[in-house]
Amino acid sequence: MATNEVHISDAGTVVEITIKDEDAAVVDVSLATLKQITLQEPDGTDHVKTAAFTTDGSDGKIQYSVESDVFQSVGNWRIQGKVELVAGTWYTDIERIHVHGNL
């Protein structure tokens, strides 16, 4: 997951996640019926957001462009992707991102 430094109330930060199988091979999610990214605050509060394909899904990548009301807590956030396909449901490894304060 590549992001720039994130601050409270940032808007437009793109969180991108790649869906991989247990062998770390990219999963083609182009036929996914559900694409979500969950952003979890340091206190455990979840923000479940609908994700979009970064390209066409064949590369396993989904993304979410953060709105200004999401990152409202300073600290270490956890982020996880989820997709549902006819063949099953996949969750990504949990990533971490640090949200910084402002002056």
Q: What is the average pLDDT across 26-38?
A: 96
pLDDT of residue 22: 85
Between strands 75-85 and 34-40, the pairing is antiparallel
Answering whether pTM is above 0.85, one says yes
pLDDT of residue 64: 96
Which residue(s) pair with 2 in the sheet? none
**Whether the predicted pLDDT of 2 surpasses 80:** no
Q: How many CA within 13 A on the CB side of residue 67?
A: 7
- CATH number belonging to the domain at 6-100, selected among 2.60.40.790, 3.40.50.12160, 2.60.40.10, 1.10.1240.10: 2.60.40.10
Contact predicate 51/36, CB 8 Å: yes
Which has the higher per-residue pLDDT, 62 or 90?
A: 62
Task: Name the residue ranges covered by the structural domains of the chain.
Answer: 6-100
- What pLDDT, in 10s, does the model give residues 9-26? 999 999 999 999 889 899
- What pLDDT, in 10s, does the model give residues 37-75? 999 999 999 999 999 999 999 999 999 999 999 999 999
pLDDT of residue 5: 86
- 3 pLDDT band, cuts 50/70/90, is low
